[in-house]
Structure 1
Amino acid sequence: MKFDLTRQEAAIYECLLKNGRQTGYETAKMTGISRSNVYGALSSLVEKGAAQYEEEPGARKYMAVDPQEFCENRIEQLKREEDWILLHAPERKEEEDGYITITGKEQILGKARKLLQDTEERVYVSGNAEFLKEILPAVKETAEEGKKVVLITDCMEIDHPGKVYHTKDRKSQIGMIVDSRYVLSGEFGEDTQNTCVYSGQRNFAELFKEAMANEIKLIRLTEGEQ
């Protein structure tokens, strides 16, 4: 369904994968979906590149396209669509910096990775193991580009080329500050609302920067650093 199949189409695609060539009638019988809906879904699967068919005497038999081939074709199609959108979309109107609410794990991770990608000089990241392990490839890539990357985490297993400060259980709290200007802060993980605030407001960034600096100072004192 993440690859643009409806729930019924996904069920029928799975049925074709499991059972091989079959008619619309056979598919309807195996899935319990009405014949009219099955035939419509099969036509759509063919259009979307998830199925093919052969004409046999008295019947048309459908077969599933290999999952890897189907997925790669869909990704390639989306890349072409992306090129078209970037070429033809109007320029985005710049909004005044405010406080933007971001909800959902994937949306938060997407924003965190974009912030890392856009880092010009330095980024400080504070978070639990679940959050950091998800964005670690982007963290390493940012560090390898010569940008300063500092982590504050309760995870002792983080393999990171930059500086890592270990602290007590962070629970669900995460935070990022990029180039002393852009802040992402909120909660991430199981049993949370998975909600963050993103802002480029100067006052908010200064407060967040000061709070993170104080936390690092406290960790240093605890570890006996000078």
Structure 2
Amino acid sequence: MDAAEMLMQFALTRQEALIYMALTTDGAMTGYEVAKQLGISRSNCYTSLASLVEKGAAYLLEDTATRYVAVKPEEFCGNRIRMLEELKDKLAQQLLPRAAQTEGYLTIGGQENMIDKAVFMIEHGAERLYLSAERVCLEPLIPSLTAAAERGMQVTVITDVPFSQPGIRFYTADCHPGQIRLIVDSNAVLTGDLTTDGTCLYSRKKNLIDLFKEAMRNEIQLIELYQNEKGSVL
């Protein structure tokens, strides 16, 4: 994802993102200068500049000629995130479910969606979690795992290439490429293939959770047994 695509996640159109990037890197410019630099029509340029001002991504600099100044990325993005956090809380209060939440087996597609679900589970865990995945699959989850350990959760990870992190208990073992198994607080499980074309199964069904917990416990016991035997031989 390039800079323009990232900016589009903050409610900018592609043209607005390109103009914002130009203002950020090259400093204050008039609408004419922006249009000339990017090779777009002046009418489209001024429309996009007005939208950037409205969205809080640019300011007007009144001088001999009206120029536009980009709001710093950390300020603009921070403001959008804060607004979305406020809207999230309001929506959570207004959109209360009228019926019990689905407790079946949910299929999640799309790599980013699966990672988002894993992050959400980890960030909302309270007591303990078990996770098995290749190191490459762990990368986007490491900040959430670290934060979970820091807030006192018992974090146990089985992976092929462990990393050093206080509070996280690691076991080294071969992992199926792309596969993830995640259990949080014994009340939710996520399992499947984290690759681009893969899918994951999410469930709060106790029988499935118990099945995966038992399988991971047995795997950990075998790893510990192997390590102990290897240590005694050495």
- Quickly name the TM-score band, shorter chain normalised: 0.7 to 0.9
Say whether 1:134 aligns with 2:128. Answer: no
Instruction: Provide the C-alpha distance between the structure 2 equivalents of 1:56 and 1:148, rounded to a whole number of angstroms.
Output: 59
Between 36-45 and 145-154, the greater mean CA deviation after superposition: 145-154
Between 103-112 and 33-42, the greater mean CA deviation after superposition: 103-112
Q: 1:71 aligns with which of 65, 74, 77?
A: 77
**Kept in 1: contact 2:111–2:197 (CA 8 A):** no
Amino acid at match of 2:33: E
Change (3 A) 1:118 1:96: same
Aligned partner of 2:226 in structure 1 is 222
**Kept in 2: contact 1:98–1:200 (CA 8 A):** yes
**Kept in 2: contact 1:154–1:170 (CA 8 A):** no
Deviation at 1:56, TM superposition (A): 4.7
Equivalenced residues, count: 223
Deviation at 1:70, TM superposition (A): 1.7
Q: When the two structures are superposed, what TM-score results if normalisation uses the length of structure 1?
A: 0.84
Amino acid at match of 2:215: A
Deviations 1:22-44 (A, max 9, x none): 22222212111222211110110
Aligned partner of 2:3 in structure 1 is none
Amino acid at match of 2:35: A
Identity %: 44
Deviation at 1:160, TM superposition (A): 4.2
Instruction: Provide the C-alpha distance between the structure 1 equivalents of 2:150 and 2:62, rounded to a whole number of angstroms.
Output: 55
Amino acid at match of 2:53: V
Matches within 5 A, 1:1-226: 1-56=8-63, 59-91=65-97, 93-189=99-195, 192-224=196-228
Paired residue secondary structure (1:165) = strand
After TM superposition, the runs of 4+ consecutive aligned structure 1 residues lying more than 6 A away are none
Paired residue secondary structure (1:123) = strand
Aligned partner of 2:5 in structure 1 is none
Q: When the two structures are superposed, what TM-score results if normalisation uses the length of structure 2?
A: 0.82
**Kept in 2: contact 1:52–1:64 (CA 8 A):** yes
Which 5+ residue runs of structure 2 have no aligned equivalent? 1-7
**Kept in 1: contact 2:133–2:175 (CA 8 A):** no
Amino acid at match of 2:226: T
Amino acid at match of 2:115: L
Amino acid at match of 1:143: A
Amino acid at match of 2:56: G
Between 66-75 and 38-47, the greater mean CA deviation after superposition: 66-75
Instruction: Provide the C-alpha distance between the structure 2 equivalents of 1:39 and 1:96, rounded to a whole number of angstroms.
Output: 48
Between 82-91 and 107-116, the greater mean CA deviation after superposition: 82-91
Amino acid at match of 2:217: A
Paired residue secondary structure (1:184) = strand
Deviations 1:141-180 (A, max 9, x none): 3334444322111113242424321102442111111233
Deviation at 1:125, TM superposition (A): 0.8
Paired residue secondary structure (1:224) = helix
Paired residue secondary structure (2:66) = strand
